[in-house]
Amino acid sequence: MAASLAGSGEDAFRRIFKFYKGRQPPPDFNLHIYISRSSSANDWCVFLLSDVEGARVGLRPLRDWRAFSLQGYPGFIFISNPFRMDCQAFWIRQCLKTYTQKPNVCNLDLHMSPSDTQDIWGKREPKTLLERLRWVTLGYHYNWDTKTYSASHHTPFPADLHSLSLHITAACGFPEFNAQAGILNYYHSDSSLGIHVDESELDHSCPLLSFSFGQSAIFLLGGIRRQDSPIAMYMHSGDVMVMSGQSRLLYHAVPRILPALWGHTAEKMEACSLVPSLQDTTVVEPVSQEDWMVCSRYLQSSRLNVTVRQVLGPGQCFPETPSSHQRTDKITDGEYGKRKRSSSCDC
């Protein structure tokens, strides 16, 4: 497929990105590669954590995780929905309600006052304002203009998300991972994320962690050059990706949002997600019926993506004059050219 789509005058990644993004005529989604080579947790899990600790953050026992790797992409790990079905709703609610409150930085597609931002989840037009949400930053807040982080632009990273991230990364061989920054992207049916590399973090030896919730998406994973042809795969609700080692700085993109293809719809999660079955959990909490009604309505046509990163290595400090990173692309809504913001934020 890559050979037939790549032409002279345009790199292969761009050509394939346009192919999957195109709507007239629509692409043949049977061409997608869904990773199918799996291994048990005993084969790949490096630093075993107890199942009790995993249950505290809403994860299944490690023996039930299905992990995938790709030949030729060292350090890339795809974990097919390790979440308990009765706990996905909690993380969805956190992304839509808890993490969108001050002091986090929210961006809507319209310029709005702080009071409007606080009312995203309030009684005044909750649906309208929530649908306008585009991104939120956590911890070290990303500067979209300079494409840098700084010590002066920082709020405490959410403890619950830190615990979840540590459990995933430790199982993948990174027990010292320190979640310092997070970027939440809110996708709608006509959204896409352009070709880019996540390189703004000062320490690239640490993995990049990505969580997906809601509608499905097409993910393109390329090489170290834009000319390298990417492979395509589905991302479904609950899927987790870890980009580490040589895969940490590969080009990637999200050209298309698709209806949930394998049953992970808001309606199917609703019946079993409102009250976690764990009685002694300290992280995952029950989601009220009122909150879940808002969440499920949003997920009917939208996707959430959370990327978590470690910005600084041990003993590392921010430079006095941060440099700008330019190997990024744009997130867009609708037709080509309707640019919303600079971004290097999705995995």
Q: Are 42 and 35 in contact (CB under 8 A)?
A: no
Tens-digit pLDDT profile for residues 244-277: 999 999 999 999 998 875 454 544 555 444 445 5
The CATH code of domain 2-342 reads 2.60.120.590
Q: Which residue has the tokens 């300290």?
A: 282
Q: How many CB atoms lie within 10 A of CB 320?
A: 5
Q: Are 93 and 276 in contact (CB under 8 A)?
A: no
Domain edges within the chain: 2-342
Tens-digit pLDDT profile for residues 186-202: 999 889 989 999 998 98
Q: How confident is residue 345, by pLDDT bands cut at 50, 70 and 90?
A: very low
What is the model's pTM?
0.83
154 carries a ligand binding annotation: no
196 carries a ligand binding annotation: yes
Give the residue ranges of DSSP H helices in the chain.
2-5, 12-21, 41-44, 51-56, 88-93, 114-118, 126-132, 159-171, 266-273, 289-299
Using the 8-state DSSP alphabet, how is residue 59 labeled? B
43 carries a ligand binding annotation: no
Tokens matching residue 165: 């991230």
